[in-house]
Each structure stands twice: as structure tokens, then as C-alpha cells.
């Protein structure tokens, strides 16, 4: 398929995990992909690597400007960059709270704010924000993370309603536990990584963790013309976790 031939896409957090897989799939389907990351050394072949700090308006603006200046448009924005946090309220410092929101929520706001003028001017655009199943339910030891991802979901709905009918759509994907470098780092920090992984798998009704490719495929669907009547929704990819 070449669903995105002639389309310009910007993906943040493109250097690993879900964002890297988004980039790979968009490139495979014909898009020109600007792959943004704090360290873009490992973005997939075919992506245009950009060093971007999504918490910095100037850094993010430079990425959007480059994409538009080189291709003349910006059709898809995937606000995917994220920061992990694994503490409860008592253990979470103010600094950790602020850092989590700076990446997970402020970054989504900045990307959307910068992309919208171009999308509105062309009457065409899809914004896909990476939220989380943790934004829909409370999880232990995820105070800042749950709160920040819940904010992403609420913000995505507001943007969708605000710009409905303009040709610009905004949705979020809500992954459950995904077998990604992000989860790998959490497991590595556990007292018994093998046991911690087994516990994560055991809580999945489907009996396994998700894959970055599965989440990326969901994001590409929401960004595609096949989802033209979908805006303001959350696509949950969690192996049945929330249904249990």
C-alpha cells in the first residue's frame, strides 16, 4: 500500500520504540517523514533525522518549519515523544512531575499549536497523539504518568471539537503495555526483571505484551483517509487490559 504517497509526516520520539516503528511504516507507505528525536541517530532508513526537544518551542518550531519549507505542506503530525514516570504521589518529586508533564503534555500542545496553522491553511491534516491506557485508568506507581496521559486524551478531544469541519482531525492512540525499549528500561530497574516481566504478561488477557508495530499500525490508520470520519477518539491497543 501507498496510503501516504505525496504526504508529509512529522513524528516525534522517532529514535526508538513506537515512534521508530511509526516512521518506518510511514516511509514504507510512501510518505516523506521528518523523524524528530532528542537523539535521532537510530531513526529508520528513509526518515529525515531531526534533533528536536519537544519541550522547547524554538526547537519544535524549527522542525515544523523545515518540513513545510522543504515539502510545502504538513499533512500528519504524530506527537509521540514521551517520558516515563514510575512513582506514587508521595515519592514523586515536583521536578519529576514537571518533567513528565513537560514532555508528555506540553510537547503535545506545542506540536499541535505549531502544526495547526499549516494544516488549517491547506484544509487537510491529521494529528495523532500517543496517550496511554494509563490515561484512562489509574495504575499504581504512575501518578505523574497517568495524569499527563489523561491530559493528552482530554486535550486531543478539545482540539478535535475545536477544528471539526476544517479538514483537520485529532485523535489519540492509547497503548497498553508494549514490548518496547521504554518498558525494557523499567524492567531493568526492577529487583527481579524476569519476574517483573512475567507479572506484566500475566495481567494481559491476551497473554502477551503488545508490539511497537501494532501501535504504529493503529496510528497510521487514524492518520489515513480510511479514518476520515474519526476525530476526537481514543484507539485503545492493550490486548484487552481495560476490558478485564
* pLDDT at residue 25, rounded to an integer: 98
Of the pLDDT bands very low, low, confident and very high (cuts 50, 70, 90), residue 189 is confident
In which element (H, E) is residue 63 found? helix 57-71
DSSP 113: H
Domains along the sequence of the chain with CATH? 8-175+211-236 (3.40.50.720), 180-209 (no CATH)
Whether the pLDDT of residue 214 is over 90: the answer is: yes
Whether 67 and 78 have beta carbons less than 8 Å apart is answered as no
When pLDDT is averaged across residues 106-128 and rounded to a whole number, the result is: 98
7-11, 35-39, 203-207: lowest mean pLDDT where?
A: 203-207
Distance CA 127, CA 85 (A): 24
For residue 232, CA distances in Å to 1, 64, 156, 172, 173 come to 26, 23, 6, 8, 11
Cα 203 to the center of its chain, rounded Å:
23
- Is 34 in the active site? no
Buried b (16+ CB within 10 A) or exposed e, 144-160: bbbbbbbbbbebbbebb
Q: Which residues pair with 174 in a beta bridge?
A: 236
* Catalytic position from the list 34, 145, 155, 163: 145
Whether the pLDDT of residue 196 is over 90: the answer is: no
Digit-coded pLDDT (tens) for 29-72 = 999 999 999 999 999 999 999 999 999 999 999 999 999 999 99
When pLDDT is averaged across residues 10-30 and rounded to a whole number, the result is: 98
Buried b (16+ CB within 10 A) or exposed e, 214-224: bbbebbbbbbb
Distance CA 229, CA 30 (A): 23
Amino acid at each position: 500500500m501507498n496510503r501516504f504517497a505525496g504526504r508529509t509526516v512529522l513524528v516525534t520520539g522517532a529514535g526508538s520504540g513506537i515512534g521508530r516503528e511509526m516512521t518506518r511504516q510511514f516511509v514504507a507507505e510512501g510518505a516523506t517523514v521528518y523523524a524528530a528525536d532528542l537523539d535521532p541517530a537510530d531513526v529508520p532508513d528513509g526518515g529525515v533525522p531531526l534533533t528536536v526537544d519537544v519541550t522547547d518551542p524554538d526547537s519544535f518550531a524549527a522542525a515544523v518549519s523545515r518540513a513545510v519549507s522543504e515539502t510545502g505542506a504538513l499533512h500528519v503530525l504524530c506527537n509521540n515523544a514521551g517520558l516515563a514516570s514510575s512513582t506514587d504521589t508521595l515519592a514523586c518529586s515536583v521536578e519529576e512531575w514537571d518533567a513528565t508533564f513537560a514532555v508528555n503534555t506540553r510537547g503535545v500542545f506545542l506540536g499541535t499549536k505549531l502544526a495547526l496553522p499549516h494544516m488549517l491553511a491547506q484544509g487537510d491534516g491529521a494529528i495523532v497523539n500517543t496517550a496511554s491506557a494509563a490515561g484512562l485508568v489509574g495504575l499504581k506507581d504512575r501518578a505523574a504518568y497517568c495524569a499527563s496521559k489523561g491530559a493528552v486524551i482530554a486535550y486531543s478531544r478539545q482540539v478535535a471539537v475545536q477544528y471539526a469541519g476544517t479538514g483537520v482531525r485529532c485523535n489519540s492512540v492509547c497503548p497498553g503495555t508494549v514490548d518496547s525499549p521504554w518498558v525494557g528500561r523499567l524492567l531493568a530497574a526492577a529487583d527481579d526483571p524476569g519476574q517483573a516481566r512475567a507479572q506484566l504478561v500475566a495481567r494481559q488477557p491476551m497473554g502477551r505484551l503488545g508490539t511497537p508495530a501494532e501501535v504504529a499500525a493503529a496510528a497510521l490508520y487514524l492518520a489515513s483517509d480510511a479514518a476520515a470520519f474519526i476525530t476526537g477518539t481514543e484507539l485503545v491497543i492493550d490486548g484487552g487490559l481495560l476490558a478485564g
